[in-house]
Amino acid sequence: MKILFGVQGTGNGHISRSRELVRKLKEDGHELEVIISGRREEELREIEVFAPYKVLKGFTLVTRRGKMSYMETMFQLDFARLMTDVLTLDTTGVDLVITDFEPVTSMAARIKGLVSVGFGHQYAFPYHVPVARGSLFEKYTLLNFAPARYNAGLHWDHFNQPIFPPVIPEMLYKTARPREDAQKILVYLPFEEVEDIEAFLRPFGSFNFFIYGKVTEDRDEGHLSYRAYSREGFLRDLMECSGVVCNAGFELPGEALHLGKKMLLRPLDGQIEQDSNALAMVQLGYGMSMHQLDAGVLKEWLVSPPGNPLNYARTVDYIAEWIESGCWDDLKVFADASWRDHFHGKVSS
């Protein structure tokens, strides 16, 4: 099958989960062409698995100090360029379009009448899952930014809906888990300024914080360890830590829950998806949330008990089987199977 696969490049989570599904589909013998949009090519990391790929401008969400800036987001939108990319995209011989919240491939599929699958957390929201209060504009954008005909939605729990568990990187299945350090905390707050994070964490000297985000080089300052981006290093720190403080995205919390790390989420202001994720995390009893860098909440969370590993199934295997079957209306069959695997804890090595 020839598949056109769109990846939203603005967040590492999209790239992480798409990397796993692209790898699986290629292993199964499918021919893939990948479109990445939303970030400049020189800013992308570890995308070799996507080759052959093309990087387009797409549509980028702008943030400032932990808050969405809808005004700047609208100003940077080049609608003429977006439509040119959509209309000139070569879809000759394409049997299926898969979009991980990527608008160019989503729009091309609709305009050219191609079968499309939405893959990712955003595609769980058409179903009955926890949704935070938000403006009509926010809700409309979440559901219509990059829609598809069929939805392979992901979430931390099934909520009795036809959705799949999170996609876990292969490394977290294959690598033996190191001994957990109770004092080691992983911090990933890419929408916050480094100086704000430092002021937030410095008073808690009995814990060792490993900080990723807007960090350009490795350095250690007492109990604060700053780390530049490295996917392998990040996953190693994730496996070794006892807890994670991060924005309320989806992929990292899913990886942490898979390993049994306790969670403290700080949702991006004005972003309904992240507000909804924080709501779901608390409702499920998997972690805590804060709507600012709140030292009081952090103090309470640091002494809270550890979590239990959820041992999610290899989700991409079930999604790949569904795609191979072409039985689009049987989504629930494959989703249910992935959760039965999850609940039985059958994670193979």
Does the pLDDT value for residue 69 go beyond 70?
no
Least confident of 45-54, 194-203, 276-285, 339-348: 339-348
Does the pLDDT value for residue 270 go beyond 90?
no
Handedness of CA 267, 308, 252, 186 (dihedral sign): positive
- Of residues 46 and 114, more confidence is placed in 114
Measured between alpha carbons, how far is 265 from 280 in angstroms, rounded to an integer?
11
Q: Which pLDDT value is given to residue 46?
A: 79
pTM check: above 0.85 = yes
Name the CATH topology of 171-302: Rossmann fold (3.40.50)
Residue 181: name the closest of 260, 255, 256, 243 by CA: 243
Torsion angles phi and psi, residue 78, rounded to 5: -105, 85
Residue 250: name the closest of 5, 9, 14, 8 by CA: 14
The tokens describing 211, both together, are: 């900080």
Measured between alpha carbons, how far is 100 from 79 in angstroms, rounded to an integer?
20
Where is mean pLDDT largest: 44-58, 75-89, 193-207? 193-207
Q: Exposure pattern of 15-45 as b/e (b: 16+ CB <10 Å)?
A: bbbbbbbbebbeeeebebbbbbbbbeeeebe
DSSP state of 6: E
Q: What is the pLDDT of residues 34-55, one digit of tens each?
A: 999 988 888 888 788 999 999 9
Q: Which pLDDT value is given to residue 75?
A: 61
CATH of domain 2-167+313-344: 3.40.50.2000
Q: Can you count the helices (H) and strands (E) in the chain?
A: 13, 15
151 Cβ contact list (under 8 Å, min separation 6): 117, 118, 123, 124, 126, 127, 331
Q: What percent of the chain has pLDDT over 70?
A: 93
Q: Which residue has the tokens 């209060």?
A: 133
Q: Which pLDDT value is given to residue 23?
A: 96
Q: Which pLDDT value is given to residue 176?
A: 78
Average pLDDT of the residues in 205-229: 95
The tokens describing 171, both together, are: 């490394």
**Domains 2-167+313-344 and 171-302 agree in fold:** yes
Task: List the chain domain ranges.
Answer: 2-167+313-344, 171-302
Measured between alpha carbons, how far is 195 from 142 in angstroms, rounded to an integer?
31
Average pLDDT of the residues in 251-257: 96
Q: Where are the beta strands (DSSP E) in 172-320?
A: 184-188, 208-212, 219-221, 224-226, 243-247, 262-266, 287-289
Q: What is the pLDDT of residues 283-301, one digit of tens each?
A: 999 999 999 999 999 999 9
Q: Which pLDDT value is given to residue 349?
A: 30
Q: Which pLDDT value is given to residue 152?
A: 97
The string of DSSP codes covering 226-243 is E----HHHHHHHHHH-SE
Average pLDDT of the residues in 297-325: 96
Least confident of 1-15, 21-35, 69-83, 126-140: 69-83
